[in-house]
Amino acid sequence: MCGILAVLGCSDDSQAKRVRKWYTCIIVYFFFKIGYRLRHRGPDWSGLYQNGDNYLAHQRLAVIDPASGDQPLFNEDKTIVVTVNGEIYNHEELRKRLKNHKFRTGSDCDVIAHLYEEYGVDFVDMLDGIFSFVLLDTRDNSFMVARDAIGVTPLYIGWGLDGSVWISSEMKGLNDDCEHFETFPPGHFYSSKLGGFKQWYNPPWFNESVPSKPYEPLAIRRAFENAVIKRLMTDVPFGVLLSGGLDSSLVASITARHLAGTKAAKQWGPQLHSFCVGLEGSPDLKAGKEVAEYLGTVHHEFHFSVQDGIDAIEDVIYHVETYDVTTIRASTPMFLMSRKIKSLGVKMVLSGEGSDEIFGGYLYFHKAPNKHEFHQETCRKIKALHKYDCLRANKSTSAFGLEARVPFLDKDFINTAMSLDPESKMIKPEEGRIEKWVLRRAFDDEERPYLPKHILYRQKEQFSDGVGYSWIDGLKDHAAQNVNDKMMSNAAHIFPHNTPNTKEAYYYRMIFERFFPQNSARLTVPGGATVACSTAKAVEWDASWSNNMDPSGRAAIGVHLSAYDGSKVALPIPPLKAIDDMPMMMGQGVVIQT
């Protein structure tokens, strides 16, 4: 991931220019901004471009074409300028369609300026990847800004008193200079010519109408394998995050099967590296090590203590830019792990975010009353991912110049999975169908197993639970030592928006407000009732949940194996047969304990 910052239409009498007066001072100011506030996102290169009253800045994390892909990027005559954060997985195919264009670099993002030149603003849907970009057309002084379909890459937009438009990968690039700023909506672009936003991503599932396509396990398998394979595009060392749960284990298994023969394998070796984090004796460490040994990865196991996590909370909130309890709980272990991964020289990892939203994998989906409610909840969850798991995965890793790629959020895979009749996704213990049954069944291959059976059917753990149950308990205890009852009694007066209803939430909110005191900042964070990561609407599925509003998976009383009342779930059903003769890499796992 990279960091981008732009100021568009900064007029001559603007406050910024009155304060800094000289052009040279503005240049220094921008380098200060990008270097010290966003540099963690891309420490490899700093780029700056100015044309009239428009300024584009870029902080690069070099993953594709490290030698020549520095930004900003241009078309042939440099009249179109673009600064990009992201990866365009189909860039080679797009280059073939642009036969009359000459490219200056081998960067996957180099196609964007040329696509605009060829097709205008409507080219965005042609991009297969994750991206946020600002494009300036100097021929008429117009500009456009766009964000990927689901919001895997973070992006914010703000407005200055002088009418200027500000764009930044993170809030911290805007919060001192804009009169108002907000989250840039995923699947949209902003055009100065149109004078506002336009939605470019509008797939059939977006209107939440219930689909009726029959479940075809092999179609799910092929679509997800394709999603993983296209994300093996890299010119730098990479690995996979492996918690030992279903989602990360499938990503690791498919990567291990297909790594041999890729450009990455030729450059960095054919054996996959995997990474796991947890408290001593946590469920994830045990399961992650087992899967790593099964797949033959070079496994790196990182331990942290509850105190280590507590000590990092302020840094986590500063980097992830949220006060949401679930996100902070899960971001902290990922933040600590990312620092260790980057120290090993790795610059990119594959991760398993998105599966639970697509397939109804959270434990509260057990209580979905019918397929209509089930499907609509999955739609709501996917649309909100940019506020939660995408935010966590991107900013926790980018804090240390590490890029996270999420194959479950591939556009084609989402379309395949969300076209299924949701009846096939429904959780029915009496029929042996646990959460994410359709995904488990798709990869249950007796002849050439992707995973050990008990891993393939391991019950869902929230990341913040899987790293060790004492992690959440420790956070609550720490918050109780820093927030007293009197503070809670006045919470609604101190924080009228998204009033914290627990001491843990209050503690996070105090830290957030210290870093981001603007009203615009607090409005970017979602709120509302939730249990076990549900939306507020799904809380209505079980009346008992209103008395146990905790985002932990254990709050799904009567569902989780380690729930607060110790309930049980069903066993898997018979598997599928093999479909493809694909080699699987095997070998000895190596565990590095830190």
User: Which residues carry out catalysis?
Assistant: 2
Euclidean distance between CA atoms 532 and 548, whole angstroms: 10
Q: What six digits make up the tokens of 276?
A: 């796991």
Contacts 24+ apart (CB under 8 A), 209-214: 210/371, 210/372, 210/375, 210/376, 210/421, 210/422, 211/375, 211/418, 211/419, 211/420, 211/421, 211/422, 212/421, 213/419, 213/420, 213/421, 214/420, 214/421, 214/424
Q: Are 83 and 112 in contact (CB under 8 A)?
A: no
Q: Are 546 and 348 in contact (CB under 8 A)?
A: no
| DSSP string for 208-272 | -PPP-BPP-HHHHHHHHHHHHHHTT--SS-EEEE--SSHHHHHHHHHHHHH-TTSHHHHHH-SSP
Q: What six digits make up the tokens of 40?
A: 């963690």
Euclidean distance between CA atoms 158 and 177, whole angstroms: 9
Euclidean distance between CA atoms 153 and 113, whole angstroms: 19
Closest by alpha carbon to 109, among 60, 141, 69? Answer: 69
Q: What six digits make up the tokens of 379?
A: 């739609």
Strands 403-405 and 80-88: unpaired
Q: What six digits make up the tokens of 555?
A: 């709050």
The torsion region of residue 166 among left (phi > 0), alpha (psi -120 to 50) and beta comes to: beta
Residues 6+ apart with CB under 8 A from 305: 279, 280
Residues 6+ apart with CB under 8 A from 103: 95, 110, 111, 114
Euclidean distance between CA atoms 542 and 556, whole angstroms: 10
Closest by alpha carbon to 531, among 539, 520, 522, 540? Answer: 539
Strands 165-168 and 142-147: unpaired
Residue 547's Cβ-count burial label (10 Å; 0-12, 13-18, 19+) is: exposed
Q: Are 6 and 135 in contact (CB under 8 A)?
A: no
DSSP helix/strand/coil, 33:
helix
DSSP helix/strand/coil, 536:
coil
Determine the Cα angle at 484 with ends 482 and 486, to 5°.
145
Euclidean distance between CA atoms 232 and 229, whole angstroms: 5
Q: Are 371 and 421 in contact (CB under 8 A)?
A: yes
DSSP helix/strand/coil, 203:
coil
Q: How far apart are the first and last CA of the chain?
A: 26
